[in-house]
Structures are given as structure tokens and as C-alpha cells.
Structure 1
């Protein structure tokens, strides 16, 4: 594998929402994601760029997504094709915090086989948000069976 000479420096996920105020309130005020200055013109042209810490892209096959949904206990009728996953220090506290603001819990805090505690809530604009709390470092997980990169995974 070759190393790109100009890899991306930031991941920005754009969520189009009809209820801009609700979405900003949820991500900025409820989840506490800091807002940075962003350019928009006037009137209905609104944008909010919120810092989410480290960003990764998780590519998952349909079988893996179904496995995660089953582990988290999300019913088939509520499984989206896109969702946001946010690492938090304490999954149960994150769920309790958003529940205070009327956010529906889709799946309660559950310890996963990938050494996280996951829970899923219904965010605004149709997006689901998974909170996950890491229980081990990447180095610790790398020593466990089943943890490897895709190019080294047996087929």
C-alpha cells in the first residue's frame, strides 16, 4: 500500500435539516460540541460548524451493520443507512443528558464484543447517534482475536 502525499486533514459531515434550530441546539447545546465561525449570507442561509474531536470514517459491510444493530438492540424497523457515532467518556451519562432534552433512546447502553459501551439515540433531521465509550486502547484491542485491518483479515 502506498502512502498518499496529501491525505485529508478534516472530515466534515454535512447534515441538511429542515429544523436548523433544533439540530444546532442538539449538537451544540445538548452534546456540547463547540461551534466555530462559519460563513453564510442572510435569511434562511444558515450553517453551523461544530467540532467533534477526532473524526474517522467507518466503512462497514451490510452484514457488519446488521451485527452492530443486533448487538446494540436496534429493531430492524429503525435501522438507518447513515448514522453518527460519537466517542464519549461515559455512555450512560451521555444518554441521560440527551434524554433530559427529550431525545428518544433507541438502544440502551450495551457492552459490545469490540470492547465499547454503545447506546443509540434519535437525533434531529432523521439521523441516529451512537454514543460509544472505549473500554480498551487500540493497542490492547489489537492483541485480541478478531481485531485486525481489512487487508490482513482472512477471507
Structure 2
């Protein structure tokens, strides 16, 4: 049984309208699913808070918030826990198109409270099954200490491993989430160069960092400059309404800070919320 964490909380309440208003307008969470007997609110990390109406009889067996534990396979996880004496409530439920999870099953823990196992497909928003646990992009650098400053102190990425072999060879691994891979054909690459910089750099790879707005772009650019990252030009607005600032590390790595237009940002945030972790 592989557990990814607690990523769902459900609450059944007789004060449904007040609770819905509280989560939406006071906590400020985004509504993800509006169902007949419940509403699901999304957290930025892809977690969810689901509020059930008192008319939702399928969840009448609990009257307290229920945490959801995300697992690969609900049925396999349930069978494993049942062998260890855990008592489950009812059968495994399979989701439909409008369900947050694909399957779930409730159980009672020793504290007397109800918990639920939930599975979500390990798919990206394009609905293609991911065949790996982690993708690593490797960059060769001449001065690893200087590079670490940019990624750790500048971009704020956490170091999850830092090793040195007996022969002195060193590597550093950063945790990056969320992330995406973007492929351009040659014409698209040239178009991006022309639009963002006004000239073609001749490079064949780049790092692009999405930020909320131009103030955030300027703040990060100023921070990176103090770590030796130079500006290649001014903040530019592309024909596709992105605001982009080209920068280069001392190693010559291209780093583009950019913002998305409002509608596209909403689409990307929703896509990221569908990722399993």
C-alpha cells in the first residue's frame, strides 16, 4: 500500500449554506465541483475540501470532518488493512465523471472517528498515464556552488540530496513541484526568441519560471541579480500576452521569468490541481 498523504477532507453539516459561504468567501477557496448534494473546494496544492448537504444520505454515518488518505489502489489498500483487523464501513464506492476521487472506502480508526481511503488516477490533465514516479532534468555546470545559490537561494528550491563521491565528483538534487515540460519546434523556438528578446540566442534549452504578476517578476529578478544572474533585456509583452523577462546565469543558462494572461493562468492552475501530488 502506497500512501501519498491526506489530501481530502469531507464535512457533512446541517448548516450547509453558511459553511459553503464560509469556505468560498471567508477562506477564499476556489470551487472545483458543484454537485447535487455536495460542493468541492480546491486547495492550491491539489487537495480538496468537500462539504456535504444534510440530505446526502450516503454519508449519514459521520457527523465530524473526515480526513481522506490518498492511496494507489483503494481495494488493495482496504484488503491489506482488513487483514490487520481494520473495520470498514460499507463497500468500496466507485466515482463518476464528477467525483473528486476514482474510488473510496470509509473505515473506523481506534480514535473512534471515520477516515476514508481515496484513489485518484496518476494522470496528468491530458489523461495519459504516467509511467514513472519522478522525472529529473540534469544540467552540467562548471561552478556548482554558484549554481546552487541561484536555484536554492534565488528560486527557493529545497535541496533534497547533496553528495560528493570519493573522487570529488559532486551532485545536488532539488525538489521541484509543480513543474512542466514544454516542447517547441524550431520555428516556435525562434518565435519565442524574437518576441521575448528581439534576437535569436542559438540555445536549445531554457528554464522558464511562472510568476503571479509583474511585481513578482521584478522582485525575483532583483533577488537573482544579487546572486550573479544578469538581465538580457527589459520586461517584454509577447503577442500571446505573456510578460517575459530574459535572464542568464553565470553558466550561460537561459532563465525566463514570465506571467500568464489571467484566463490562461486559471486554466493552468486547474490543470495543476488535477495532478495526484
TM-score, normalising length from structure 2?
A: 0.45
**Shift in CA distance, 26/140, structure 1 to aligned 2, threshold 3 Å:** closer
Match of residue 32 from structure 1: 156
Larger radius of gyration: 2
> How big is each residue's C-alpha offset from its partner over 1:106-151, in whole Å with a ceiling of 9 and x where there is no partner?
1321122333211111124321111112232437679xxxxxxxxx
Distance 2:217 2:133 in 1: 27
Describe how 1:7-46 pairs up with structure 2 within 5 A: 7-46=131-170
**Shift in CA distance, 31/42, structure 1 to aligned 2, threshold 3 Å:** farther
SS at match of 2:171: coil
Match of residue 100 from structure 1: 226
More strand by share: 2
Distance 2:140 2:249 in 1: 13
Distance 1:15 1:97 in 2: 22
Equivalent residues of 2:154, 2:220 under 8 A apart = no
Unaligned ranges ≥5, structure 2: 1-125, 269-277
Q: Which has the higher contact order (CA 8 A, sep 6+)?
A: 1
TM-score, normalising length from structure 1?
A: 0.75
Equivalent residues of 2:244, 2:259 under 8 A apart = yes
Unaligned ranges ≥5, structure 1: 143-155
Aligned length: 140
SS at match of 1:48: strand
Describe how 1:39-58 pairs up with structure 2 within 5 A: 39-58=163-182
